[in-house]
Amino acid sequence: MVAVAALLAVTLLGAIATFLVDDRYAAKFATAVSTIPLVGSVWMYYVYLTEYQGVGNALLSPDTVAFRQTIDWIELGGYTIQYSVGLDGVSMPLLALTGILTTLALVSSWTPIDERQSQFYGLMLLMEVSLIGVFSALDFFFWFVFWEGVLIPMYLLIGVWGGPRRKYAAIKFFVYTNVASLVMFVGFFTLVFSLGDSIATLGLPEITQALVAGEMGSLAGIAVADLKLLAFVLMFVGFAVKVPVFPLHTWLPDAHVEAPTPVSVMLAGVLLKMGTYALLRFNFTMLSDVATGSVLAIMPVAIAVIGVFSVIYGALLALAQRDLKRIVAYSSISSMGYVILGLVAFTPHGMGGATFQMISHGLISGLMFMAVGVIYNETHTRMVGDMSGLADRMPWTVGIFVSAAFGYMGLPLMSGFAAEVFIFLGSFGATDTLGTLAPVLTSIAMFGIVIVAGYLLWAMQRTLFGGYELETDYELDGAAFHDVAPLAVLLLLVILLGVAPDLSYGMIQEAVNPILEIGGGV
Amino acid sequence: MTAFDYAPAIALLPFVSFLVALFGGQYLPKKGALAGIAATAGSLVLSAWVALTVAGGQTYNEALYTFTAGLETFDLHLGILIDPLTALMLLIVSFIALLVHVFSLGYMNDEGETGLPRYYAGLGLFTASMLGFVYADNILMAFMFFELVGLCSYLLIGFNFREAGPPSAAKKAFLVTRFGDYFFLIGVVGIFVTFAGATQTPGLFAGEGSFPVVAEHAIVDGATEGLNTFGFEPQTWFTILGLLVLGGVMGKSAQFPLHTWLPDAMEGPTPVSALIHAATMVAAGVYLVARMYGFYALTPTTLAVIALVGGFTALFAATMGVVKQELKQVLAYSTISQYGYMMLALGSGGYIAAVFHLTTHAVFKALLFLGAGAVIIAMHHEENMWEMGGLKDKMPVTYYTFLAGSLALAGIVPFAGFWSKDEVLYEALIHGFGTEGGLGTVFLVAYAMGLLAVFFTGFYTFRMVYLTFHGEARTETAKKPHGVRWNVKGPLAVLGILATTIGFVNLAPVKKLTGLEVDFLHKWLLGAEGSGWEALLTGYEHYEHVLHDGPAHVLVGEPLGATGTLIASALLSLGLAVAGVLAARSLYKVPEPVEHTDKLGSIKTLLMHNYYQDEYQVWLATGFTYPLSRAADKFDQGVIDGVVNGISSVSLFSGSRVRRLQTGVVTNYALFITIALVVLLVVFGLTGGWF
């Protein structure tokens, strides 16, 4: 199947073309280009739903993976580097999410981005290429190229089109995540070298299967168990920065506050999911025995504690903010904490729910950032206290904002509720990995649903309701249709997945359940 | 086709009216009101058909939509359970919702309010969510619609968002109830995880395989295979789960200490208050306990907690009602107090009494709120009773219906509230005497509080009636009240008749005294062998068996004999109610009443401040949690981010120092190279053993 290759090629060509287009036409041109990966990924999703059965997990059963394509490329250090792509129930929804969010983010750029358009839109599309690659690559070399390839456009997008402190935020983002990549890289190659001759390629499935088969040998006198632990910790730290997990999260609020709205949408909606996606693939699939505590018994509890702490800590930080965008940024830390808890629970609903939460949070946080962006475009402020009673002037935008906020609070029949309930159902009884702490930690994490209601309701009360006032000199002239339309589309998707979670949850469960079966074995 | 095939439409019709009002309301003649009326009327007709079918002995318990097909784990689904309890509640909710819609024509449309499409959309969604909650067949679905009910209350309480009060009250209502729902959600998750190994359908309410029945087998028969009780004794663990779910109940049903949102919720339009208090939101909590009564009946501790919370709330709220000055505030506290009675009944084994009181209360509280709404229209939106007076002659329909509702609320024979409240107290009394040990004592204490509250109820109710309708008009507005139309009088008249008569559906005392078979509600909810629905195990006969033979051992004791106890209990509660009414009459049925409550001194201050319950809860939010979050923010900015920035400044600093070595002077470089070479030689020499 050349579907993924076509997606990559077309998007890349489109990105290059966008750089060459005149600024006046760049927005429409790039949006039109982005509909190709949008339609393509949604079509692939549809094909996956209707035609592929029993795909399983991409790393554990590579022969049945959907849209698989493998071409040998070069020899490097004794390993064959392959162009190798394929999709399973975890990566397929993330790929579709990328396609959908990119187009919507591009549409939401029309109003706020008013200089160097061709470069902006070109970089956005370039980022999409890398994102498609990250979620579909099954060879480490390619995967890593795309993984790093996301950073450069993101660095430029924040650093050029960002707010007043954009340089600080962009450099912080770049250095922080780049150092993290390095740490992860060392961790991964610890595994590769200790596998020795048992692998001939850097294919992720091959490495996984070699690890599961117990092919690992000691390296430089370090025992296998210690090597595994070392690799696990290094990779966990590397990916945790991207998620982000406490205490490695401080780049996130700065990046979000400085980034223009559409870039925030991509950052929160898709880029953070790279971290949890990689955690799922590397830490919880390749080294599932370490994740479940068979090397170091305290490991699952330690990870769960970090996740639960992130939930509560992120929510508390959100409560302390006045900037609407910072509120949403910190609440992302809280929401991603649930993903960590679900993953480490290592149960069907826990891991499935964690993956579902990646999709759900991608949609809802994108929606929230866009809604804040529309308000900012109109009022030129994001500060709670600088405005009130916006519901009076922009009822439909506020209506969607309120709906999105309730989605964020986990209102039933919206996707966030399904995701959180799956995670809680999975982690509450996860006594195999978390022991008697499972219900306790889950109950603590659940308190997040109270705090999130607290800060969102409080912020809404002060900005959207009450008598109309605006501290800035701008007059509200009402948001344009193309500003509000992406919000409505996202809201509908959030409700669709909330009413029928099995549209994604079915394939997700098929992909994560095989991981659970290999869990305990070394 | 049977009625059950159309059951989903009962909730879907108001949902459609929500969509119609939201997106098309502004183009419709009554801004969505007619769609709402048509939808709720449709729901009422279907509910009646369902009730008739249920009366024929048929019930329904089916999964209809698979929310998630669990792979290697349990499914989650949406389904419908219809038994006599559901059928009764469906009737109540759709009936009250219909009347509220009609009344809103007078209260909102005729008064020229803006934002009506949003209002009717909210009413539609509120009704749909409550109906969905009522016939949910499993506890996860119940939780989902429970939350949606909370959303709707937020939207409707905050309807007048341009003012300062309503958005704040809406936020408080949602937050306080969500705090309760937090515990409820833990309970729901806990129930699924606990029972998943023992049954295919862990969240189900009714039938074999439902969690109350599996729990009963575990406790009564010792069948614990597959249960995951996390190392606890089943009974201990079920008590924990029961108490967790109870958190949600106490939030929504405004039981102490989570009652604080309800008086603030009076910021919503008055018809919304009627809907919230009589049939939807607040009723949801108590209904949930009734729905899963088989589970609660198993654990004596939860029964004791329910009874105590109920009895205490009944008394506590009634005392606050005594000093309030605004009509709707008095009604708000009466709601809290009355739901306390229902909890008291449920806790002390009086399942039917609780459902009976839920029914009569729905009627008379809807009546009182709509009556208050009529008064508020007449008074040009003045709500303070001290600004009223003498409205009796100017608005007779409102007066006489309001009086009927007040007599019912006060519990004066033969109005509806007398029969149901008397049964609540009677059940608590006889089970208190009959049950041995601490549980019996708890029932008696709860009974005593409930009994005392009867006096206060009679007093505040008639203080309200006399101040509003009797005496001289105290203001210009009260002298020339605004008239109301059929759409206000119609619903009042219907409810007035019902408030007078609906008590006759369950004349249990009359049956006991005369042997006439007039306890229709009792028979309706009994579910005896041969009734056709005993297999659901949600009938009172089954609950009675669990209460008697389970660990609670709730038994009946009649110290004065069957007839003597019955009469003594009725006389006691009626006597106290009449005493309260007479006390109010002597103080306030005068041409120029004064604030006698001033004589209470500091007690009045305490009561006006609602025992400082709001203060400490507001402090928890703004005095504790918010400063904690500020501290966390400081820590995050200073320490965590400080370390990150520190690392980068260290590297920048060391970079700038190392840079000085690069001077560009060739002789310096030559010097460095020579020194380095010498050092290396020495090192290699030392380690290699050259010297």
Q: Where are the domains of chain A?
A: 3-519
**Shortest CA distance from A459: residue in chain B:** B171
- Comparing A140-144, A232-236, A392-396, B232-236, the range with the smallest average pLDDT is A392-396
Half-sphere exposure of B523 (CA within 13 A, CB side): 13
Do B171 and A172 count as a contact with CB atoms less than 8 A apart?
A: no
Confidence of residue A521 (pLDDT cuts 50, 70, 90): very low
Q: Which helix (H) or strand (E) holds A37?
A: helix A23-51
Which one of A175, A316, A436 makes the best mutation probe of the B interface by having the most chain B beta carbons within 10 Å?
Answer: A316
Q: Which long-range contacts (CB under 8 A, 24 or more apart) does B32-37 make?
A: B32/B116, B32/B117, B32/B119, B32/B120, B32/B121, B32/B124, B33/B101, B33/B104, B33/B105, B33/B108, B33/B109, B33/B116, B33/B120, B35/B120, B35/B124, B36/B101, B36/B104, B36/B120, B36/B123, B36/B124, B36/B127, B37/B98, B37/B101, B37/B102
Cβ contacts (< 8 Å) between B171 and chain A: which residues?
457-458, 460-461
pLDDT per residue over A165-198, tens digit each? Answer: 899 999 999 988 999 999 999 999 999 988 888 8
To 5 degrees, how large is the angle CA B598–CA B449–CA B559?
140
Do A466 and B185 count as a contact with CB atoms less than 8 A apart?
A: no
Distance from CA of B627 to the nearest CA of A (A): 8
**Residues in chain B, total:** 691
**Shortest CA distance from A507: residue in chain B:** B71
Q: Is the pLDDT of residue B68 over 70?
A: yes
Average pLDDT taken over every residue of chain A: 91
Distance from CA of A200 to the nearest CA of B (A): 35
Angle, in degrees to the nearest 10, between helices A3-20 and A117-136: 170
Phi/psi for B62 (5° steps) reads -135, 145
Q: Is the pLDDT of residue A522 over 60?
A: no
Cβ contacts (< 8 Å) between B185 and chain A: which residues?
421, 424, 446, 449
Do A457 and B644 count as a contact with CB atoms less than 8 A apart?
A: no
Do B164 and A453 count as a contact with CB atoms less than 8 A apart?
A: no
Confidence of residue B314 (pLDDT cuts 50, 70, 90): very high
Distance from CA of B455 to the nearest CA of A (A): 38
Return d(Cα B328, Cα B332) in angstroms, integer: 6
pLDDT per residue over A89-122, tens digit each? Answer: 999 999 999 999 999 999 999 988 888 889 999 9
Which one of A437, A465, A496 makes the best mutation probe of the B interface by having the most chain B beta carbons within 10 Å?
Answer: A465
Confidence of residue B99 (pLDDT cuts 50, 70, 90): very high
Cβ contacts (< 8 Å) between A341 and chain B: which residues?
none
Distance from CA of A489 to the nearest CA of B (A): 16
Candidates A409, A464, A505; nearest CB to B68: A505
| Per-residue pLDDT, B388 | 84
Candidates B163, B178, B629; nearest CB to A319: B629
Return d(Cα A131, Cα A147) in angstroms, integer: 8
Asked if B558 and B432 count as a contact pair (C-beta separation under 8 A), the reply is no
**What's the longest Cα–Cα distance across chain B?**
123
Task: Show the tokens assigned to A67.
Answer: 């849209």
Instruction: With CA atoms as reference, report the closest residue to B314 among B218, B149, B450, B136.
Output: B450
Cβ contacts (< 8 Å) between A320 and chain B: which residues?
626, 629-630, 632-633
pLDDT per residue over B119-132, tens digit each? Answer: 999 999 999 999 99
**Shortest CA distance from B645: residue in chain A:** A172
Provide CB contacts within 8 A for B143, sequence distance 6+. A412, B181, B184, B185, B188, B248
Do B73 and A411 count as a contact with CB atoms less than 8 A apart?
A: no
pLDDT per residue over A257-303, tens digit each? Answer: 999 999 999 999 999 999 999 999 999 999 988 998 888 889 999 99
Asked if B353 and B345 count as a contact pair (C-beta separation under 8 A), the reply is yes
- How large a percentage of chain A has pLDDT more than 90? 64
Task: Show the tokens assigned to B267.
Answer: 């910021």
Nearest-10 Cα torsion for B668, B674, B675, B678:
180
Do B186 and A446 count as a contact with CB atoms less than 8 A apart?
A: yes
Q: Is the pLDDT of residue B105 over 80?
A: yes
Q: Is the pLDDT of residue B9 over 60?
A: yes
Do B70 and A442 count as a contact with CB atoms less than 8 A apart?
A: no
Q: Which helix (H) or strand (E) holds A76?
A: strand A66-76
Asked if B488 and B409 count as a contact pair (C-beta separation under 8 A), the reply is no
Return d(Cα B104, Cα B492) in angstroms, integer: 12
To 5 degrees, how large is the angle CA B543–CA B545–CA B546?
65
Return d(Cα B43, Cα B56) in angstroms, integer: 20
Instruction: With CA atoms as reference, report the closest residue to B494 among B40, B48, B96.
Output: B96
Q: Is the pLDDT of residue B361 over 80?
A: yes
Instruction: With CA atoms as reference, report the closest residue to B581 among B426, B466, B501.
Output: B466
Average pLDDT taken over every residue of chain B: 88
Phi/psi for B93 (5° steps) reads -65, -45
| Per-residue pLDDT, B603 | 79
Asked if B70 and B30 count as a contact pair (C-beta separation under 8 A), the reply is no
Q: Is residue B82 helix, strand or coil?
A: strand
Confidence of residue A447 (pLDDT cuts 50, 70, 90): very high
Q: What is the DSSP letter of A381?
A: -
Candidates B148, B161, B175; nearest CB to A457: B175
Do A411 and B140 count as a contact with CB atoms less than 8 A apart?
A: no
Half-sphere exposure of B565 (CA within 13 A, CB side): 19
DSSP of B87-131, one letter per residue?
HHHHHHHHHHHHHHHHHHIIIIITTT-S-HHHHHHHHHHHHHHHH
Candidates A347, A443, A461; nearest CB to B168: A461
Instruction: With CA atoms as reference, report the closest residue to A34 among A116, A121, A135, A119.
Output: A121
The predicted model gives A199-225 an average pLDDT of 87
The predicted model gives A354-375 an average pLDDT of 94
Q: Is the pLDDT of residue A326 over 50?
A: yes
pLDDT per residue over A333-351, tens digit each? Answer: 999 999 999 999 999 899 9
Do B189 and A425 count as a contact with CB atoms less than 8 A apart?
A: yes
**Shortest CA distance from A456: residue in chain B:** B171
User: How many CB contacts within 8 angstroms connect chain A with chain B?
Assistant: 151
Task: Show the tokens assigned to A110.
Answer: 């029309």
Candidates B158, B178, B228; nearest CB to A450: B178
- How large a percentage of chain A has pLDDT more than 70? 99
Distance from CA of B147 to the nearest CA of A (A): 7
| Per-residue pLDDT, B414 | 86
Q: Which amino acid is at B178?
A: R
Do B625 and A319 count as a contact with CB atoms less than 8 A apart?
A: yes
Q: Is the pLDDT of residue A507 over 50?
A: yes
What are the residue ranges of helices labelled H in B268-299? 270-278, 281-291, 293-296
Do B178 and A453 count as a contact with CB atoms less than 8 A apart?
A: yes
| Per-residue pLDDT, B690 | 65
| Per-residue pLDDT, A519 | 67
Cβ contacts (< 8 Å) between B648 and chain A: which residues?
172, 175
Q: What is the CA radius of gyration of chain B?
A: 31
Cβ contacts (< 8 Å) between A348 and chain B: which residues?
70-73
Candidates B175, B193, B230; nearest CB to A425: B193
The predicted model gives B278-304 an average pLDDT of 92
The beta strand positions in B549-678, using DSSP E, are none
Distance from CA of A425 to the nearest CA of B (A): 5
- How large a percentage of chain B has pLDDT more than 70? 99
Do B175 and A439 count as a contact with CB atoms less than 8 A apart?
A: no
Do B148 and A175 count as a contact with CB atoms less than 8 A apart?
A: no
Candidates A317, A411, A417; nearest CB to B632: A317
DSSP of B400-424, one letter per residue?
HHHHHHHHHHHT-TTSHHHHHHHHH
Which one of A321, A457, A462, A515 makes the best mutation probe of the B interface by having the most chain B beta carbons within 10 Å?
Answer: A457
Distance from CA of B127 to the nearest CA of A (A): 16
Do A320 and B69 count as a contact with CB atoms less than 8 A apart?
A: no
pLDDT per residue over B167-211, tens digit each? Answer: 999 999 999 999 999 999 999 999 999 998 888 888 899 988 899
- B436 versus B689: the higher-pLDDT residue is B436
Which one of A313, A319, A507 makes the best mutation probe of the B interface by having the most chain B beta carbons within 10 Å?
Answer: A319
Cβ contacts (< 8 Å) between A491 and chain B: which residues?
none
Q: Is the pLDDT of residue B691 over 70?
A: no
Do B230 and A418 count as a contact with CB atoms less than 8 A apart?
A: no
Distance from CA of A510 to the nearest CA of B (A): 7
Cβ contacts (< 8 Å) between B121 and chain A: which residues?
none
Do B185 and A424 count as a contact with CB atoms less than 8 A apart?
A: yes
Provide CB contacts within 8 A for B16, sequence distance 6+. B35, B39, B124
Distance from CA of B44 to the nearest CA of A (A): 25
| Per-residue pLDDT, A268 | 92
Q: Which helix (H) or strand (E) holds B65?
A: strand B60-68
| Per-residue pLDDT, A314 | 93
Q: In Å, what is the CA distance from B298 to each residue of B178, B216, B219, B302, B550?
A: 27, 7, 8, 9, 6
pLDDT per residue over A1-24, tens digit each? Answer: 688 899 999 999 999 999 999 988
Cβ contacts (< 8 Å) between B625 and chain A: which residues?
316, 319, 451, 454
Distance from CA of A462 to the nearest CA of B (A): 9
Candidates A318, A349, A421; nearest CB to B73: A349
